[in-house]
């Protein structure tokens, strides 16, 4: 998700750098927009370095800071309109007045009028400016329009006075952002282990056996869980994807390595999602030198790899385990069988041959098969949205006590 962070000219502008960082740690991408007076307090370079994105400073300036340019104004607005939320911190009395009255004489105030996204403002100013009826009227007007106001705190102000006007604490601003985006933090306290991507089983130094897998589904689960407050350990086979913000990634290559990494991390986790496309077989022998081409037919001896999910399910305790079933036929039948055979709590099944589902796509069409026989066929949706639904089920299953057969209960 993308947040546009408007920084306006007050002493608290330096705190916006820390805010930008914290937003990124929560998994948001951050586009910073600075007003002219903000640039008197802090340099755009600070934000550019932190966010890895060009900072927008002027309505008409070309990205390189060149001459007035209408194209760049239109492009800037287009970029900024793609935001999921506009956050202004610190917001000066001047910016609040512009927003309230609909003045649009710089980039930020123009964006406020142009963007349809929710708006959060965190005012910071001198106590008298804050209490002034003009400011309070503007605040009331903005609030009535649905803008979320993160009220300034009491304390020592840079002007030497003490009172209301300090920028709210960063945690408070983050909470308002989450609330505005209706983001749940319902996985706080959980540790989720996620496997993702393919594994590569080497035949010789240049050839290997693998499965088709981009890793996107597992990475989406890891990212969604981190945003919902979980600690996430992502054990990933080779993929081209960057680790999502706030996720601990352990990179592995083979099924054997993935198995070892999962065994090591499993005790710490409260739930695990096995989204990796683990190779089912590996060459019995890995040749030390590149195999030479030959006219004769070639037979390669293969042996099964460890079934990581099935193995860990034997020692799962109260953990919720999620497996995937990528099928090309008899999807429901295979999914139900897998649920029982692997002792999983949830199987996410998809027909990888269906349009809109499967490899290298941003969308998926899945059905969830839960251990309590609840089945839920989801329509085509983004992998991120599928990830959210999987996590909803994980929470539901965690809250539902597992029935332990009487015979086993006595041993436990």
Of 50, 55, 150, 309, the one binding ligand C5P by CB under 6 A: 309
* # residues near ligand C5P by CB under 6 A: 13
CB of 361 to ligand C5P, least distance (A): 18
DSSP SS3 for 325: strand
Minimum CB distance to ligand C5P smaller for 127 or for 278: 278
Of 152, 165, 197, 323, the one binding ligand C5P by CB under 6 A: 323
CA distance 249 to 410: 39
Structure tokens at 125: 């100013």
CB of 326 to ligand C5P, least distance (A): 7
CA distance 237 to 276: 8
CB of 307 to ligand C5P, least distance (A): 4
**Candidate list 62, 79, 141, 159, residue with the active-site label:** 159
| DSSP conformational letter for 101 | H
- Pairing relationship of beta strands 119-123 and 148-149 according to DSSP bridges: parallel
Between helices 44-51 and 15-25, what is the axis angle to 10°?
Answer: 10
Minimum CB distance to ligand C5P smaller for 17 or for 331: 331
305 in contact with ligand C5P (CB under 6 A): yes
Cα 326 from chain centroid (whole Å): 23
Cβ-contact 321, 271 below 8 angstroms: yes
| DSSP conformational letter for 151 | P
219 in contact with ligand C5P (CB under 6 A): no
At 248, phi and psi to the nearest 5?
A: -85, 115
Of 130, 324, 369, 384, the one binding ligand C5P by CB under 6 A: 324
Cβ-contact 13, 41 below 8 angstroms: yes
Segment interacting with ligand C5P (CB under 6 A) among 144-152, 223-231, 303-311, 403-411: 303-311
Cα distances (Å, whole numbers) of residue 246 to 59, 105, 410: 33, 37, 41
Is 200 marked active-site?
no
Site for ligand C5P in 263-302 (CB under 6 A): 274, 276, 278
307 in contact with ligand C5P (CB under 6 A): yes
Segment interacting with ligand C5P (CB under 6 A) among 8-16, 112-120, 241-249, 323-331: 323-331
CB of 164 to ligand C5P, least distance (A): 54
308 in contact with ligand C5P (CB under 6 A): yes
CB of 237 to ligand C5P, least distance (A): 10
CB of 308 to ligand C5P, least distance (A): 3
Cβ-contact 196, 360 below 8 angstroms: no
Of 17, 173, 255, 261, the one binding ligand C5P by CB under 6 A: 255
- Pairing relationship of beta strands 381-382 and 363-364 according to DSSP bridges: antiparallel
CA distance 407 to 63: 70
Structure tokens at 38: 């903000």
Please report, as ranges, the residues that interact with ligand C5P according to CB under 6 A: 195, 255, 274, 276, 278, 305-309, 323-325
Q: Which residues are catalytic?
A: 159
């Amino acid at each position: 998700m993308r947040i546009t962070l408007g920084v306006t000219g007050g002493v608290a502008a330096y705190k916006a750098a820390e805010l930008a960082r914290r937003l990124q740690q929560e998994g948001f991408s951050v586009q910073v927009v600075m007003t002219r007076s903000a640039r008197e307090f802090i340099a755009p370079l600070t934000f550019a370095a932190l966010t890895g994105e060009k900072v927008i400073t002027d309505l008409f300036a070309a990205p390189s800071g060149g001459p007035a340019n209408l194209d760049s104004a239109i492009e800037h607005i287009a970029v900024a309109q793609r935001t999921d939320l506009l956050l202004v911190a610190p917001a000066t009395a001047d910016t609040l007045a512009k927003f309230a009255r609909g003045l649009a004489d710089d980039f930020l105030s123009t964006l406020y009028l142009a963007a349809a996204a929710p708006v959060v403002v965190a005012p910071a100013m001198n106590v008298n400016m804050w209490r002034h009826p003009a400011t309070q009227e503007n605040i009331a007007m903005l609030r009535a329009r649905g803008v979320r106001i993160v009220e300034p705190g009491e304390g020592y102000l840079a002007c030497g006075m003490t009172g209301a006007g300090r920028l709210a604490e960063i945690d408070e601003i983050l909470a308002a952002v989450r609330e505005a985006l209706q983001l749940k933090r319902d996985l706080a306290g959980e540790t989720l282990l996620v496997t993702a991507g393919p594994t590569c089983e080497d035949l010789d130094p240049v050839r290997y056996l693998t499965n088709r897998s981009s890793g996107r589904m597992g990475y989406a689960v890891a990212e969604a869980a981190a945003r919902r407050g979980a600690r996430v350990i992502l054990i990933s086979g080779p993929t081209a994807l960057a680790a999502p913000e706030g996720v601990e990634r352990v990179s592995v290559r083979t099924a054997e390595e993935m198995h070892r990494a999962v065994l090591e991390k499993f005790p710490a986790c409260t739930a695990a999602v096995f989204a990796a496309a683990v190779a089912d077989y590996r060459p019995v022998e890995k040749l030390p030198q590149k195999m030479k081409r030959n006219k004769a037919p070639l037979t390669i001896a293969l042996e099964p790899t460890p079934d990581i999910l099935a193995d860990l399910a034997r020692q799962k305790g109260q953990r919720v385990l999620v497996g995937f079933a990528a099928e090309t036929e008899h999807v429901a039948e295979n999914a139900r069988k897998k649920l029982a055979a692997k002792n999983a709590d949830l199987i996410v099944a998809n027909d990888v041959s269906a349009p809109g589902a499967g490899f290298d796509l941003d969308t998926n069409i899945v059905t969830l098969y839960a251990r309590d026989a609840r089945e839920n066929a989801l329509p085509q949706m983004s992998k991120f949205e599928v990830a959210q639904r999987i996590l909803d089920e994980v929470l539901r299953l965690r809250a539902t006590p597992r029935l332990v057969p009487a015979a086993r209960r006595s041993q436990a």
